[in-house]
Chains A and B, each alone.
Chain A
Amino acid sequence: MSVAISTLNSIDKEKQLNEILDQVLERHMQPEDRYEVAAILESLGWNDRRVHETFGAADVFALADDLWERMKRKVLFTPFAKAENMKPRVMLMALLRNFLRGVIFAVPMAVSVFSMLTLKFSLWSYEYLSVELATSIAIGTILSFVTVGGFTQAIARRGFFYIIQGYYNMARRVTFHFIGLGFAVCIGLSATILLLNMIIRMFPFSMLAMIILYFFFLNSIWLSVTVMYILRKELVFTGLIIAGIALVYLLFIVLGIDNIILDQLIALSLVSAASILLVIYYFKQAEKKSEKGISPQMPKMSVTLYSTMPYFVYGFMYFSFLYVDRVMSWSTNSQYMPYLIWFRGDYELGLDFALLVLILPMGISEVVLTRLMAGIELSQKAYWGDEGERMGRAFRRTYYRMLGFIAAVALSSAVALYLLLYFIFDHFSVGLGSTLYAHPVTHLVYVIALISYVFLSVGLMNAVILFSLSQPQLVIRAIWPALVINIIVGFVASRWMTAFETSTKASMATGHGYAVLGLLMGSIVFMAISIQSTRKVLNNLDYYLYAAS
């Protein structure tokens, strides 16, 4: 009690008390209660005798009581900090940097598309592949994304967490632990598929071998690209892709090794090995540069897993969401169905081109998020403790503006992409144009996927906001119903349209194309639930900021 030390009335004592309070707050910014303050005091070397001799207080608890009261008063008097207006040039540069960081992931994709259009092959595709091989590669790719999706999210979350604190050693250890787990799951899954296929012949062995090889190599590539992203070495991956394509060119065209699958597998294995080695090298370099000092102990693995589990689940569900409509489409028995899944190029082509629409909104979303989070950080010092409601209202307004902005950008991007590609294909007489704009399945998928990705980009912006406020469970709450809806609608729509076409003896089978309706409905659901969740968070922003701290 302050009464208990009222005997200490000199200015020096007051000054000393404030110093001790600062020391306590340095140890823990927001102690839970007065008992925690007492514990911190004891850890600072204060005992009953010293307290009594210095301040005349009865014991450590009496001093803790006094400090606790001071602390509560101190919170109320935290000075206001006004948001500093950035200079236009600085702001523009920051926005550009964030935008480029958002779109940089599209560069390898752009390189691959360019390679396909000019050379007719890329690192893992070829225009004249048999459908059998295309099916194997597609299954391997989907499997790799779905399997590794959770691990990439966990690496990005936990690795980044250590890197921004400068703990490169811990970041490396946790990252390689997740990479190891990713490979273990990949090997376990491959062995299970192989064994199962020995008993239940789902695919011929030649196809299965391709599936597993592509699955394995692509897994290592996705894992290493994630690490490059957190180490801010995104362009290196683009360089590796270019090198890989160059190697395929060398083997296939220059040296005339006619088996392109073999050429691609050689290139893929070298690219994946190089990327893993580069990741190790970059970590070593970063560790050398980081400050030498106490190396903190790694938390228990179970704690790390527990804290990253929601991100892992999200990663798995997100990639499943992105690919499940393909599975629904390719498993439809509409025209020709030799195995459980059969690649349909007309469906894939529509989705591939529609995916380009995400580049711009994703870049913008990075900028928008940075702005929002900076605003939130500043607002904690710009509002009174009891003005949580006002603060929430202000941010809701900002959020709605951002929502409208990102939706407008995504929509314009979709319309612009549709018209731009039409112009390019028409102007340069690219044969692909007739497939993309005239083939009933490809055109349907292209248009519906463009619309779906507009909704998805809004949902993804909500997801990054919620992740930034440490609310991954709310993102999962939005993505799992979207995934279920995607599966059900895609499945039912593709089957019923196929049945309808069969009953009407339609001249062309297009039923499998309607699986894209699953993507559309799923994206709408994802967007709607994620908006609802984000509003909920912004309605109680002060609470969620406290919880996230």
Chain B
Amino acid sequence: MYAGFWNQCLHLLQYFMAITLLLVIWPMGLFAKYGGGPLERAASRFLGMMLLLLVLGYMLAALKLFEAISIVMIVGSLTIWSIIGRRSSTERQELFAKWATRFFDYFENKHRLIALLRDSFTVHWKSTLQAIRFRLSDPLTAVEYILLVAVFGLSAYIRFYDAATSPAPAWPDGYTTLVRMKRISESILVADGWAVPQGLYMFMSYLRTFSFIDAVYVLKYTGPFVSMMILLGQYAFIVRLTKSRIAGLAGVAAFGLFSGCFPGDFERHAAADPQQFAYMFLFPVLMFYFRYMESGENPAFRAATCGIAAAALSHTQGYGLVAMSVAVLCIVFMFAGARRYWRKTGPIVLALLAGALISLLPFLLSHVMGASPDSASAFHLGDITALSEAFWALILPVLIGVAWSALFTVFPKSNRFRAAQLMLGLAAVGYGAYWDPPKWDPPKPIQPDKLGWDSAIEQYLRINESFRPKTWHIVTQREGYALALSSGYHMDVGEFLASYDPAMPPLTEYGKSMPDSSISHRVFLYEEKNVFRPDRRNTGWPEGKVERRKQDSEALREWVKRFEREHGSVPVFYEDENLKIYEIYRPESQEEIRKKIWNEAKGEWR
């Protein structure tokens, strides 16, 4: 069961292990320590790593080498080079001698492995406990942290609920995103339509490669994850801007719990969307440029520029929003003191121009190559209204945080007023948790419109888990292609009905006497008892399309009846009120197995 508790736990664990590897463990080895607090350090590494992953992804996909082996080899080599290169030759020798001594001492029984691990764990555990105790020693600070955890927890619940309960991809581009993610895994950058910035698809492809979970799970989890990252960035930016955790809390509570009240498409927070992915870089970029303008620190400039480049490689319109926000930040600083800040704005403007060029490059290349845009590609350029809505949806919570901070600066900095702020915060979170006061309903998670029956996707996952990849075909409407791509094979219902003769031995084409050797031995036929109709904002499928799908289902039912008359009943793999899946299986002969193992080919050699 997709929504089963343990199933979700396992898949989320695998997903977040891949995130940890890509965005925490590798950056720790690759990038030098940034001289700020833990949040800035993590943000700086995140931006650097994202840029590295995207650039590496483009290079490897262009060279047809995008896969786990090449990624591990390159990142591993870079990490070793970074660890060794950062040290002087004496330091390197000392490091080597230290580890060699430890190694040989171990075999002299000077240490025991279990004791070493236990000691190391105890030291870390104690220092973590001490840090937590120190932070929570002040009751008001403790309440602040509890509130923060509550806000982030509730926001995560609102965003992840759909991902954990419904496998169907979200409207409008779920299947397109799925196909593009899988195409990157096959080192295909441009399959159809325009070449567009591929940041999201690339990132998802990395996650799929290192989490070893089905692409459907990656698709479902990545949207909420990106939204949570935006929230985290927003918090860090507000806190650095106002030097107040409570102001940060106010801002993220507004965005995390009440984002439906802001302009823009609320449902995008729960769907993997390239535009949202580019927005993920917005607040870290603003935070580092802000620091750069204040202090002139080069590492801050470098970190922010990495974010600019990563956004440009992800989505053109998304990059436009990031660039616009940075421009606003520069303007604010110029108003604060043009003479003091104008020199620092020069490099930022250059970085923005370079980002714009990077972002538009795929379109220019496509134009030169004579490709025509498809709907999903054109969406990358987007419209100005959507851009404006997105801008305000992201910036308004920041303004709320800043306003909150400004409001309370007029009061004396006493614990009494801090407590008052927290009470207000608690009330806001409480309101968020039960935001329909008369009914005291639990929080309403985001549930985007879908592109198919949940059971259809769930059964695809069941097939993929039960049978070896690439040993089965699913016969469905067109969307099945996105699901089966790279894990099995897909055939359109119409094509199947037109090709295979139900009166002949199983899976024999019309006009032939022997079964078709090119189709899998296991074939699943999807019969839609009720045709799915998305009807969101009157943009559902045209009636003609629904009618055609109905006719296909009817024809398939007839085909199965004729097949059953000739060969007996067809096993039903799954059935509910909307869907019925038949399974046709033709066993492999021993000779076919033998040929498969040695990949035998008949040829003249004598």
Which residues of A are at the interface with B, using a C-beta cutoff of 8 A?
127-132, 134, 199-202, 204, 300-302, 305-306, 328, 331, 333, 335-340, 343-346, 349, 426, 433-435, 437-441, 487, 491-492, 495-496, 498-499, 508
Contacts and interface: CB of A to CB of B under 8 A. Distances in A.
B598 A333 contact: no
Nearest to B604: A438
Interface stretch (B128-136, B142-150, B242-250, B465-473): B465-473
Interface stretch (B63-71, B328-336, B362-370): B63-71
Interface stretch (B259-267, B308-316, B557-565, B589-597): B589-597
B594 to A, nearest CB: 6
Interface of B: 10, 13-14, 17, 64-65, 67-70, 73, 104-105, 107-108, 186-187, 211-213, 468-471, 590, 593-594, 596-606
A300 B108 contact: yes
A349 B70 CA distance: 26
Contact of B603 (A131, A305, A426, A439): A439
Contacts of B594: 127-128
Contacts of B70: 491
20 contacts: A128-B590, A128-B597, A130-B593, A131-B593, A131-B597, A199-B14, A200-B14, A301-B107, A302-B104, A331-B67, A331-B69, A333-B186, A338-B468, A340-B68, A344-B599, A434-B603, A439-B603, A440-B603, A441-B599, A491-B73
B369 to A, nearest CB: 15
Given A302-B105, A331-B69, A338-B468, A439 B600 contact: yes
A202 B14 CA distance: 12
A355 to B, nearest CB: 17
Contacts of A127: 594
B605 A202 contact: no
Contact of A495 (B13, B65, B599): B65
B108 A496 contact: no
A469 to B, nearest CB: 25
A492 B67 CA distance: 12
B597 A438 contact: no
Nearest to B108: A302
A300 B73 CA distance: 37
B104 A305 contact: yes
Contacts of A200: 14, 17, 211-212
Contacts of A201: 212-213
A339 B464 CA distance: 12
B446 to A, nearest CB: 29
A433 B597 CA distance: 16
A201 B604 CA distance: 42
| Interchain residue pairs A-B with the least CB separation, the first 8 | A438-B603, A438-B605, A499-B64, A345-B598, A338-B469, A302-B104, A437-B605, A346-B599
A495 B606 contact: no
Contacts of B69: 328, 331, 491
A435 B104 contact: no
A492 B65 contact: yes
A104 B211 CA distance: 46
Given A129-B597, A333-B186, A306 B73 contact: no
B21 to A, nearest CB: 10
Contacts of B604: 438
Contacts of B213: 201
A240 to B, nearest CB: 27
Given A331-B69, A340-B68, A499-B64, A305 B107 contact: yes
A128 B588 CA distance: 12
Contacts of A337: 469-470
